[in-house]
Structure 1
Amino acid sequence: MDFFNVVSVEAGRKMMLEAFNEYSIEIEEINILEATDRILAEDIVAKENVPEFNRSTVDGYAVKSSDTHGASESIPSFLTLLGEIRMGEETNIKLSNGEAIYVPTGGMVPEGSDAVIMIEYAEKLDDSTLMVYRPLSVGENVILKGDDIKIGERIIEKGKRLSSQDIGVLAALGVSNIKVYKKPRFFIISTGDEIVDLEEELTMGKVRDINSYALHSLITKLGGKVAGRSIVRDDFELLRGSVEKALDVSDIVIISGGSSVGTRDYTSKVINSFDGKGVFVHGVSIKPGKPTIIGEGKGKAIFGLPGHPVSSIIVFKVFIEYFIRNLLNIKDKVSKTTAILDFNFPSSPGKETYQLVNVVEREGKTYAIPTFGKSGMITLLSKSDGYIVLKPHEEGILKGEIREVYFL
C-alpha cells in the first residue's frame, strides 16, 4: 500500500506551478458582445482620444469664463448670442470676447470657449442677447479632448475579467473585437461503487453524485467550461479508460474520490500509468482535504480531489482556482471581506485549516459564525458563505479577532 508524502499548501502550489510552467491556454478573438466575464489576453491601448473634442456636460451656453466675472442676478453679464450648435454637429465657429452660443449636453464646445453656463443661470433678453447670472471658472461644465482617455494610454490590462463597464469602454474606443483566453476545458470524473447520477434510483447503500454538480458550478463561475462528466466504479481499468478519454477532450481532468490510500483508491495509480510527470503531490497538510492529488498525464493537468463534498470544494478553491488564476494571469481580486469572529477555534497542529463560516451583520458590524459538521455533510455548504484560514503555526483563534473571510 502507498502512503502519503504530505506537503504544505504553499509547497504544493509551488510544485504545481513549476510542473505546469509551460502549460498554456489558447487565445481566441471574439466580438465584445460576447466578451462579458471573459479573461482579456492582451492589453487594450487607446488609439484615439475620448472624447475626440471638447464636450459640454450640461445644456447651456458656451462662453469665455472671463466674460462672466462679477456676474450676478442683480448685475448680469450681457453677451452676444450667436445661435446654437446641434447635437452631433461639428462646428468651425471660434468664439470671441463677449460672445455665447447654445450647446446641448454632449455637444461640441467651440474653439475660444472655456466654460458652459447652465441654462438655469442664463436668460435670453432677445434673439441676439444673453444675460448670464453667475460667474464661471475655466473648464466649468466642459470635458476637454482626451480628458477621459488619451491616445496611447493603457485602458484595460491583460488578465482582466471583463465587466459590463469594460465593454462600454471598449465600445467608446471603437474596439469591436478583442483577444481573450479560451475557456479552460474541464472533465469531471466521480468515482465510487456507491455513486449514482440524479436520474438513477437511490437504493440502500448508494449516494447521489453531488461533487460533479458542485464542481461544475465552480468551474463555470471561474470562467471555465465542462467538456464532460462521468461516473466510474472503483475499477482500475474502467477509471483509466475514462481518464484517457477525458484527456483527449479537456485541458484539466478532475477525479473526485479515490484519492486516499485504500486498496480500492486507484486515482494515483491511474495517473502514473500515463506518459508524463505522473503524480507529484499526494497528500497536503490541509484540513479538510489531506488526500489531495496533483499530477500530469499526456501533457494535461490531473487533480484528484477527496470524495467528501466540503473537502472537494475547499481543495478546488485552494489549488485548482489558484492554478487557473495563475495560468490566465487573472487580475481581478479574490472575493473576500473582513469580519469579527464570533467564536473560539482551536488549530490543528501542522495543518492549514479551512473553517467554514456564515457572515452576518449586527448593529452595523460584520461577524463570522462557524458552521460545524463533518466534511461529508453537504448541508454545511448551503449554510456557509465562506471560510477563514488558520495557518499551521497558529495555536488557534479567539472570539473578537478580525479575520479575512474568503467567499465560496
Structure 2
Amino acid sequence: MDFFNLVTVDEGRTKMLQVFKDYNFGTEEISLINSTNRILSASIISKENVPEFNRSTVDGYAIKSSDSHGASESMPTFLSLMGEVKMGENAETRISSGEATYVPTGGMIPAGADAVIMIENVEKLDDSTLLIYKPLSYGENIILKGDDIKEGEKIIDKGKRLTPQDIGVLASLGLQSIKVYKKPRFFIISTGDEIVDIDVEPALGKIRDINSYSLFSLIQNLGGEVVGRTIVQDNFGLLRDCVDKALDISDIVLISGGSSVGTRDYTSKVIDSFNGKGVFVHGVSIKPGKPTIIGEGKGKAIFGLPGHPVSSIIIFKVFVEHFINKLIDIKENQNKTTAIMDFNFPSSPGRETYQMVKIIEREGKTYATPVFGKSGMISLLSKSDGYIIIEPQEEGIYKGEERDIYLL
C-alpha cells in the first residue's frame, strides 16, 4: 500500500465502518447498582404504573375540589374531618362531598378525593371541623396513578448511556438487573526505542510514555475497558508478537507511534502480516494527525495513532470514539458548547483542521481563544478546554463569529 494516499475524515470513517459493519461487542446482564455509565442493549419498557396509586405532593387534606369553589379568607368553606391517611398505608376511607382527610406528602389519596389543600390554607376549628380558605382545581397537589410512568411506556432507549438519574428511574420500576453492551476491550501499545514508563527516570534522549495514560483515561470516559498496556521497542518481531497476543484478548488495539513513513515504523507492516484486510487507511487529510493508520487483523480493529500527544487524542476522538458510538449506536448528545472566536485563524487548504482552544468568560459572554503550539508539546493538553473544527473548504475562522467547541 502506498504511504499517505490521503483520505478525508469522512472517507476514513466510511471505510472503517464498512470493514467492521458486522462486528459485535456482545451483551451481558448486570445488576442495576453497577450499571452507571453502561450502554443499554435493549430499550426499557415499563411493566407497571408509577406511581401505582394517586399520591399527595404536599402535607394537607384530601378533598373534592368542588367543595372548595368559592372559598376565601373572608368566607371559608366548612368540611368534616374524617381522620387521616398514614404514610405507607392503604387509604381505606372514601371521601364524600363535604368531607376531608389528612394526607402527608407522598401519602395515598383516598377514593373520592381529587385534590389536596395545603395545611397553610386551612384551619382546624375543632377535632371534627376544617375551614378551607382557598379554592382548588381538579388534580391540584396530586400525582395521579401513572402520571410519572405509564405501563407499556418506553422509558429509556437502547443505546443510552445510563446516568444516575436513569438508575433512579429504573429502580422505581423494581428492575434489579438490566441488559447492557459489554465494555469494548482495548489493548494499548506504545512504540519507540525512546519510550520509557513513568516510573523510570529517563536517560538523556528518552521520554516518558504519555499517550498510553491519556488514552487509558479517554477509554474509561468512553465506557471501555483496558485489558493490557505495554511499551514495545522499534522491532518488527517484538511488535508483531505483542499485537498478535493483544488481538486475542481485545476488541481494539491502539498502537501509539510508528504511523509515519520512517524506516523503523513497523505498524503498517505488522498489520499487513495478519490474514485479513490489513491496512485500509494510511494517511488522513487532517491536522494534526495526518499519518493515521486504520487496519484489521484477526477480525479486530487496529488503529495506528500518531506519537505526538495532541495528535493522538484528536485521532482517538475523531475515529475511535466514532467507531464505538456507531457500532453500539450510542444515543447521547455530543459534548460540545458554543463560543465567540476572539481571533482570526487561517485554514490548511484541503485538510480538516482541529485547533485547540481555551474557553474564557468575559462580560457575560463566552469566548474561545487559541492555544498555540506544536502537536508534540505536552502543555497543549492541560491548557486547552477543547477544539474547533475548520472544514477543508473553509478559508479559516474570523474574529467575532460563533463556532462549536468540542470539549475534551
1:240 pairs with 2:240: yes
1:63 matched to which residue of 2?
Answer: 63
2:365 matched to which residue of 1?
Answer: 365
2:157 matched to which residue of 1?
Answer: 157
Distance 2:296 2:326 in 1: 17
Q: Which amino acid aligns with 2:172?
A: A
1:201 matched to which residue of 2?
Answer: 201
| Offset, 1:211 | 0.5
Q: Give TM-score scaled by structure 2 length.
A: 0.99
1:168 matched to which residue of 2?
Answer: 168
Task: Render the CA deviation track for 1:175-213: whole Å, top value 9, x for unaligned.
Answer: 110011111110000001111111222111111101001
Task: Render the CA deviation track for 1:105-155: whole Å, top value 9, x for unaligned.
Answer: 000111111100101111111111111111111111001000010001000
Q: Which amino acid aligns with 2:307?
A: G
Identity %: 72
| Offset, 1:92 | 2.9
Distance 1:200 1:278 in 2: 34
Distance 1:390 1:238 in 2: 39
1:92 matched to which residue of 2?
Answer: 92
Q: Which amino acid aligns with 2:90?
A: E
| Offset, 1:5 | 1.0
**How many positions carry a matched residue from both structures?**
408
| Offset, 1:2 | 4.3
1:329 pairs with 2:352: no
Q: Which amino acid aligns with 2:187?
A: F
1:51 pairs with 2:47: no
1:403 matched to which residue of 2?
Answer: 403
| Offset, 1:3 | 2.1
8 Å CA contact retained: 1:2, 1:261:
no
Q: Which amino acid aligns with 1:157?
A: D
Task: Render the CA deviation track for 1:335-356: whole Å, top value 9, x for unaligned.
Answer: 1000000110001000000000
Distance 2:200 2:276 in 1: 36
Distance 1:86 1:343 in 2: 65
Could you say what secondary structure the match of 1:269 adopts?
helix
1:320 matched to which residue of 2?
Answer: 320
Distance 2:74 2:333 in 1: 55
1:183 matched to which residue of 2?
Answer: 183
Task: Render the CA deviation track for 1:241-292: whole Å, top value 9, x for unaligned.
Answer: 0100111111100000001122111100100101111111110000000000
Q: Which amino acid aligns with 2:204?
A: M
1:83 matched to which residue of 2?
Answer: 83
1:133 matched to which residue of 2?
Answer: 133
Q: Which amino acid aligns with 1:127?
A: D
Q: Which amino acid aligns with 1:40?
A: L
Q: Which amino acid aligns with 1:284?
A: V
Task: Render the CA deviation track for 1:36-62: whole Å, top value 9, x for unaligned.
Answer: 111111101110000001100000000
2:116 matched to which residue of 1?
Answer: 116
CA RMSD of aligned residues (A): 0.9
2:101 matched to which residue of 1?
Answer: 101
Task: Render the CA deviation track for 1:63-109: whole Å, top value 9, x for unaligned.
Answer: 00110111112211001111001011112322111111010000011
2:9 matched to which residue of 1?
Answer: 9
Q: Which ranges in structure 1 are unaligned for 5 or more consecutive residues?
A: none
Could you say what secondary structure the match of 2:7 adopts?
coil
Q: Which ranges in structure 2 are unaligned for 5 or more consecutive residues?
A: none
| Offset, 1:399 | 0.6
2:225 matched to which residue of 1?
Answer: 225
Could you say what secondary structure the match of 1:260 adopts?
coil
Could you say what secondary structure the match of 2:81 adopts?
strand
| Offset, 1:334 | 1.2
Q: Which amino acid aligns with 1:306?
A: P
Could you say what secondary structure the match of 1:49 adopts?
coil
Distance 2:345 2:331 in 1: 33
Could you say what secondary structure the match of 2:247 adopts?
helix
Distance 1:227 1:300 in 2: 15
Could you say what secondary structure the match of 1:275 adopts?
coil
Distance 2:198 2:64 in 1: 73
1:379-398, aligned counterparts within 5 Å? 379-398=379-398
Distance 1:320 1:341 in 2: 28
Q: Which amino acid aligns with 2:338?
A: T
Could you say what secondary structure the match of 2:189 adopts?
strand
Distance 1:39 1:248 in 2: 24
Distance 1:246 1:173 in 2: 41
Could you say what secondary structure the match of 1:339 adopts?
strand
Distance 1:60 1:136 in 2: 12
Distance 1:125 1:159 in 2: 57
Q: Which amino acid aligns with 1:393?
A: Q
| Offset, 1:327 | 1.6
Q: Which amino acid aligns with 1:161?
A: R
1:287 matched to which residue of 2?
Answer: 287
Distance 1:177 1:328 in 2: 20
| Offset, 1:24 | 1.0
Structure 1 runs of 4+ aligned residues shifted over 6 Å read: none
1:146 matched to which residue of 2?
Answer: 146
Distance 1:175 1:283 in 2: 47
